[in-house]
Amino acid sequence: MDKVPEAVQKFRDGCACSQAILATYGPSFGLPQELAMQVAAGFAGGMRMAETCGAVTGAFMVLGLRHCPGDCSTAAGRKEAYGRVIEFANRFRSRNGALTCRDLLGCDVSTPEGLKQAQEQNLFKTTCVDMVRDAAEILEAMLAESQPPA
């Protein structure tokens, strides 16, 4: 599975970072791409509040699809997904120093001033592309590590 270029291209073509990740990987776990785009739409830009990076939240959603059994309505049913989310967050933070858009971009895109700064510095076409790539690479490694033996 090498879908990293696909996720990056989706982002470059106009998808939000969260959509690029979930729409690329979700279909492998039964989530139709159109539904993935809808579900992930509100998570870009750190949920529009410069909080957790949308590429990260998109990856969290994929990890939920991969690691929650049919009945994940209990804490026990979500336990493996929780552990994988923490592992992903640690790997992403190790690579990038942070999880929040505010810290990754060095400005607060939830404010008009911060959004203007991000646009003027071309951060959505540089830093954000790197974040989508990093999230996809980490996610692919984790999905490969958790594959059942053939």
State pTM to two decimals: 0.95
Is residue 57 domain-resident?
A: yes
Rounded Cα gap, residues 70 and 58, in angstroms: 20
> d(Cα 138, Cα 36) in Å, to the nearest integer?
19
Residue 72 within a domain:
yes
Whether 19 is in a domain gets the answer yes
Host domain of residue 36: 4-144
Using one digit for the tens of pLDDT, what is the confidence trace for 75-107? 999 999 999 999 999 999 999 999 999 999 999
Domain count, the chain: 1
For 47-65, write each residue's pLDDT tens digit.
Answer: 999 999 999 999 999 999 9
Poorest-confidence range of 1-10, 85-94, 129-138?
1-10
User: What span, in angstroms and rounded, lies between the C-alpha atoms of 92 and 134?
Assistant: 7
Phi, psi at residue 52, to the nearest 5°? -55, 130
